[in-house]
Structure 1
């Protein structure tokens, strides 16, 4: 990576606004997202290279992955290839990861990984946001009680002092914080 290239890593529990922030960065600053890979089959309407890069087990194994997880019998991961593809469009790109992935990105990319830890103080607000976006009540309850989501509610000790904390309870405040972060990155 060049000195002026950055990956904004959006992490935090479900419902904290990671995708909303990613959409804002795309719309306001033209910051593309790093498209991740999966071995799960595409859902109706999903296109290869848009939502994910859809892989076979064999093609997934050939990728140069920074991090990967297995979920519901399918593999998911982010690769150097996808990062470089996104960086051809813009010197700043974004990716949504769980906190384990964010730790790996910070470790591997150092100052080039700008970790934004998204949080919302009111846990009931997280539940309401997920329901509002169309998640089924049973899925929401399962998600917010999962060990991964409980883990992602708290900034991991490996990221303390290395991540920017964004309390996303007030969208205007979030926008100001994001604008300041982008200004710092583009002024370098």
Structure 2
């Protein structure tokens, strides 16, 4: 069956568990590829260039913006993040499903141009648990954590326009729900019929 690739866009406030969930779902679905974003933020311990992100200078990022190389980009917590337009277009044409874990600003940009995309928002159970997770990561200063908490309040208000919301209270349950979303979207009648139009004469 030949069909266009599905674009899955996952957003969440920092500390909600988005990255961990996305890594697990990529491992579960062999046909689902993670889109590696570009960023100007420093590399964290354990991260690899080209795997976690494409780490670039502010100048290189600005050049890509000027050239129209991004399908979306945004500044988050003082750093810039962007998704290469070529990555999405090549995947869609090849029938490759792609998963993006990006912020609300970038997701809103993609919503305008990729209306067939699937948009999922990951919520923490509450702000107390969100703070506990951010502190437990031990990667940010107290000032940065407070800024992330403040930003989260605004980000969470954006959840209403997403197609799906998953509350990450219990990780395994949240993973099961995200898995169900990916499975269901792959079985949507429009996508299946489009992929089989050369095999069956639908509507004849």
TM above 0.5? yes
1:108, distance to aligned residue in structure 2 (A): 0.9
- The count of residues paired between Structure 1 and Structure 2 equals 181
- Counterpart of 1:164 in structure 2 is 164
**CA spacing shift, 1:117–1:156, aligned 2, 3 Å:** closer
Q: Residue 32 of structure 1 contacts residue 90 of structure 1 at CA under 8 Å; is this kept in 2?
A: no
1:59, distance to aligned residue in structure 2 (A): 4.1
**CA spacing shift, 1:44–1:22, aligned 2, 3 Å:** closer
Instruction: Tell me which of 111, 114, 118 is aligned to 1:114.
Output: 118
Give deviations 1:75-108, integer Å, cap 9, x for gaps: 4321211324566887221111221221221221
Instruction: Write out aligned runs for 1:16-31 (5 A).
Output: 16-30=16-30, 31=32
Q: Residue 5 of structure 2 contacts residue 93 of structure 2 at CA under 8 Å; is this kept in 1?
A: no
- Counterpart of 2:175 in structure 1 is 175
Q: TM-score, normalised by structure 2?
A: 0.74
Q: Distance in 1 between matches of 2:42 and 2:141?
A: 25
- Counterpart of 1:6 in structure 2 is 6
Confirm or deny that 1:125 pairs with 2:129: yes
- Counterpart of 1:153 in structure 2 is 156
Give deviations 1:43-73, integer Å, cap 9, x for gaps: 6775542233326133442243222223577
- Counterpart of 1:135 in structure 2 is 139
1:6, distance to aligned residue in structure 2 (A): 1.3
The residue matched to 1:121 in structure 2 has which SS?
Answer: coil
Unaligned 5+ runs, structure 1:
none
Q: Distance in 2 between matches of 1:170 and 1:45?
A: 25
Q: Considering only CA atoms, is the larger Rg found in Structure 1 or Structure 2?
A: 2
Q: Distance in 2 between matches of 1:44 and 1:121?
A: 27
Q: Distance in 2 between matches of 1:36 and 1:86?
A: 14
Unaligned 5+ runs, structure 2:
193-204
Instruction: Write out aligned runs for 1:32-181 (5 A).
Output: 32-39=33-40, 47-53=48-54, 54=56, 56=60, 57-70=62-75, 75-84=80-89, 91-111=96-116, 113-138=117-142, 139-145=144-150, 148-156=151-159, 159=161, 162-181=162-181
**CA spacing shift, 1:155–1:44, aligned 2, 3 Å:** closer
Q: Distance in 2 between matches of 1:3 and 1:12?
A: 29
